């Protein structure tokens, strides 16, 4: 979700400038935007002039190409890992390290959220998309059929990198964790090239390293979900991932009713009450998986979960029948 803002013109984010301070070294700047996962993604870095930024950037964008190819659910089944896996039925498929790693992490956070986040939710997503195109709600029988194909417990992972579905019709969608993993993977490449100050924006999920311009914290404005021209909160991040998910930007309309794009894997219906969830974590992937799951869990359960986890903070905005509530961890204020 693009509800984070970082100044300097980044797509979907607005990095708020801090005051400039004298610095011992003048850093060079690299900024580039490309299109991946159907949205604009970017790298913004400040680096030592001695560093070969062209080499680092080339390695980043090659990795981006690889991740998009293998995590695309709409590709030819003979090609990318995820499209082959979803076409494999009960036979299973050998996948690459990236997809296998994301699936392992996704199963872990499916467990942590009690199934509120579920990597196998694709049958329900497809059902609601098709129903929206037809301008109708899914029939009860359709919902029950799709729900029967959902359940991370029925996804089996075997080393080295083999994945099996335990029920017919199962499919996985890495749309949620892929952009976070994308940020973290490119961050590792930049770090390996000794670039110490950067952000990688995966289209709403962002990883921040070091400082803006090399001398001031990265400052991020979180969009007010009820007033898009206003900022709900401003936070400062360093060496952290952040993700905001919610129901006010991405939705489908059926009849006169608006439905979130985030589906509750247990009920089979789109989540309704959670307007916005911002999660700060050590990686953008973890922040992304948790923000999606907490949208389904709701404010009270979601904030309880975050408080039980290490190095995770959150801000949750909920609207239940017109009553607006905010939930926030104590540590969120520190940012």
Residue-wise pLDDT tens digits, 71-86? 988 766 567 999 999 9
Asked whether the predicted pLDDT for residue 88 surpasses 60, the reply is yes
* pLDDT at residue number 9: 28
* pLDDT at residue number 76: 61
Average pLDDT in the 176-191 region? 94
Average pLDDT in the 208-215 region? 92
Give strand pairing partners of 44: 31, 199
Cis peptide before 11 (omega within 30 of 0): no
What is the CATH number that goes with domain 81-173?
1.10.3980.10
Tell me how far apart the alpha carbons of residues 285 and 175 are, in angstroms, rounded to a whole number: 11
**Is 0.85 surpassed by the pTM of this model?**
yes
Residue-wise pLDDT tens digits, 105-145? 999 999 999 999 999 999 999 999 998 888 899 999 999 99
Structure tokens at 210: 């070091």
Q: Check residue 270 and report its DSSP letter.
A: B
Q: What is the mean pLDDT of the chain?
A: 88
* pLDDT at residue number 23: 47
State the DSSP H helix or E strand holding residue 36, giving kind and residue range, or none if neither: strand 28-36
By three-state DSSP, how is residue 156 classified?
A: strand
């Amino acid at each position: 979700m693009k509800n984070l803002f970082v100044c300097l013109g980044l797509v979907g984010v607005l990095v708020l400038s801090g005051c400039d301070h004298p610095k011992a070294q003048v850093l060079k700047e690299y900024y580039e935007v490309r299109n991946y996962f159907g949205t604009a993604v970017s790298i913004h870095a400040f680096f030592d002039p001695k560093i070969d930024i062209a080499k680092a950037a080339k390695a980043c964008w090659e990795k981006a190409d690889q991740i998009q190819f293998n995590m695309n659910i709409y590709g030819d089944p003979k090609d990318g890992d995820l499209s082959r896996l979803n076409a494999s039925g009960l036979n299973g498929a050998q996948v690459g390290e990236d997809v296998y790693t994301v699936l392992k992490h996704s199963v872990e956070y499916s467990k942590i959220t009690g199934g509120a986040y579920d990597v196998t939710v694709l049958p329900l997503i497809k059902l609601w998309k098709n129903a929206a195109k037809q301008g109708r709600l899914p029939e009860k029988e359709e919902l029950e059929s799709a729900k029967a194909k959902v359940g991370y417990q029925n996804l089996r992972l075997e080393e080295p990198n083999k994945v099996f579905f335990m029920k017919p019709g199962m499919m996985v969608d890495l749309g949620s964790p892929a952009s976070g993993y994308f940020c973290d993977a490119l961050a590792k490449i930049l770090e390996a090239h000794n670039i110490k100050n950067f952000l990688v924006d995966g289209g709403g999920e962002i990883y921040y390293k070091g400082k803006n311009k090399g001398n001031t914290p990265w400052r991020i404005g979180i969009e007010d979900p009820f007033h898009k021209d206003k900022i709900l909160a401003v936070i400062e991040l360093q060496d952290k991932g952040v993700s905001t998910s919610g129901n006010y930007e991405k939705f489908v309309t059926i009849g006169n009713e608006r439905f979130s794009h985030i589906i509750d894997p247990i009920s089979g219906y789109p989540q309704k009450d959670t307007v916005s969830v911002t999660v700060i974590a050590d990686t953008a992937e973890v922040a992304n998986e948790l923000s999606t799951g907490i949208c389904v869990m709701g404010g009270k359960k979601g904030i309880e979960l975050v408080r039980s986890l290490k190095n995770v903070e959150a801000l949750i905005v909920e609207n239940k029948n017109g009553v607006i509530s905010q939930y926030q961890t104590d540590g969120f204020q520190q940012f």
